[in-house]
Amino acid sequence: MEKTGALQKLKSGFQSSFWVANGMELFERLAYYGQATILSVFLRDHLKFDEVEAGQLSSIFGGLIYFLPVFAGALADKFGFKKAFSFAFFVLAIGYFLIGSTGMSAFSSWYSNTNLFPILSIILIFTAIGGSFIKPSVLGTVALTTTSETKSLGYAIYYWLVNIGGAIGPLLAFLVRDSFGIEFVYFVSAISCALMFVITLTFYKEPTAKIDEKKEDLATVIKNLITVVKNVKFMFFLMLFALYWIVFWEFFIVVPFYVSDYISPDAPIELILSTGAWTIILLQIPINRITKNIPTPSAIMIGFVFAALSWFILYFSQITGITIGIGLIAATMFTFSVGEQTQAPRFYEYLADLAPKGQEALFQGFAFLPIAIAWLVGGTFGGWLYHNFGRKEVSQPEIVFLVIGLVGVTGAVLMWIYNKFLVVRK
């Protein structure tokens, strides 16, 4: 009876929109990570850009899809989550299809005798605008459809489902690339988002708390946005957190190049890069329960330490002559993910607790500013770093690993200083 009562209490702590929104996020992440794992090699090996150009294009897409939620979150608060979801999935479906079309022979006449760099830049910007509405709408839904008792678990479930998508997406990408060609991975991503557009229209209901909110005019929305930006300590915290995500995104920039050049062009890059997601699927909920009493600043510090350690594993392996194979790279991603799943759900909970009523999506939009900065900087930085030191013509990948690891160390030190002297408390 006690177990039944606990289950009923748990179920009552989540509104139906919580499950619909998180289910849609799973498929959106499936689409995103499916293409993200092959983006750098798609740009370099299939479309024939060099490492720096591939990094720049990755920066455009990854940076904007995580930067624009700062503004998309404010608009989602203004117009409602259902409209935001509908717009997002509609644009994403078209955008992913267009990205893939640049590499499909059936559409070669569209792009013949043209400079593909600016065309892809426009397509990537368009796609990122749509994708930017997803995260703040999902996280805003979580904030409004959970209780104080279930909120922490709600964010853990959200992050768990995100990583199910992050694990299945690369698996599908590998199967599609192996069977049909790398360009068709984007076709699968487009179909996934098109289906979620239909699901939004059919099943998603605006949270009751959102309907009952007093809708603010656009001037007030902009004023709220400026108020957050003027919070110097909070913005410094977000800028500092960008160092953590630079270390993370280099797995998607540097590792595919390294695997293709030093292990095998046919190696299952997608499956290697999904190691972190599978680790989080298996360990996220128990780690959340184990670490729930650790203060958020300490949980974030754990994430930084593990981030730096993961790249130092590759560095010391390289300089000591240990063969870096698929297994060792997977081990580094496992190491990173242990820290990631310790800090990430707590980070979102931290921002939700800071958010004033009616500004849940706005604050959750700012949660992705560090990731945006990391992509904007990390794509170009990683491409430049690998081009100058990692290529087989240069054969100094240990420098690449060392520099990225030192970025993590710098972040850990600065985060310690922040926690000691500047930590924001509600």
Instruction: Report the number of distinct structural domains present in the chain.
Output: 1
Q: For residue 177, what is the domain's CATH number?
A: 1.20.1250.20
Higher pLDDT, 81 or 234: 81
**Residue type at 406 in one-letter notation:** L
Dihedral sign from CA coordinates of 412, 417, 422, 423: positive
Residue that is written with structure tokens 């203060």 in the block? 295
Nearest CA among 242, 182, 164, 224 for reference residue 415:
242
| Global confidence as pTM | 0.80
pLDDT at 22 > cutoff 50: yes
Segment among 41-50, 123-132, 285-294 with least mean pLDDT: 285-294
Q: How do residues 165-224 score in pLDDT, each as one tens digit? A: 989 999 999 999 989 999 999 999 999 999 999 999 999 998 876 655 555 666 776 777
Does 1 reside within a domain? no
pLDDT at 100: 93
pLDDT at 2: 47
pLDDT at 277: 85
Nearest CA among 328, 230, 221, 343 for reference residue 287:
343
pLDDT at 113: 83
**Cα–Cα distance, 181 to 368 (Å, whole number):** 32
**Cα–Cα distance, 399 to 153 (Å, whole number):** 40
Does 5 reside within a domain? no
- Indicate the SS3 state at residue 133: coil
**Mean pLDDT rounded to a whole number for the chain:** 85
Q: How do residues 269-317 score in pLDDT, each as one tens digit? A: 888 989 988 888 888 778 877 887 887 777 888 888 999 999 999 999 9
Q: How do residues 144-153 score in pLDDT, each as one tens digit? A: 888 877 887 8
Does 10 reside within a domain? no
Confidence bin at 11 (pLDDT 50/70/90): low
pLDDT at 108 > cutoff 70: yes
Does 190 reside within a domain? yes
pLDDT at 331 > cutoff 80: yes
Does 227 reside within a domain? yes
Helix axes 275-290, 151-179, angle to 10 degrees: 170
Does 3 reside within a domain? no
**Host H or E run for residue 123:** helix 116-131
Does 426 reside within a domain? no
**Cα–Cα distance, 303 to 401 (Å, whole number):** 18
Does 88 reside within a domain? yes
The range of the structural domain enclosing residue 295 comes to 15-421
Q: How do residues 225-247 score in pLDDT, each as one tens digit? A: 777 777 777 788 788 888 999 99
> What is the DSSP track for 260-307?
IIII-TTS-HHHHHTHHHHHHHHHHHHHHHHSTTS-HHHHHHHHHHHH
How far apart, in Å, are the Cα atoms of 127 and each of 33, 167, 184, 276, 402?
Answer: 14, 22, 17, 25, 33
Residue that is written with structure tokens 């690993």 in the block? 401
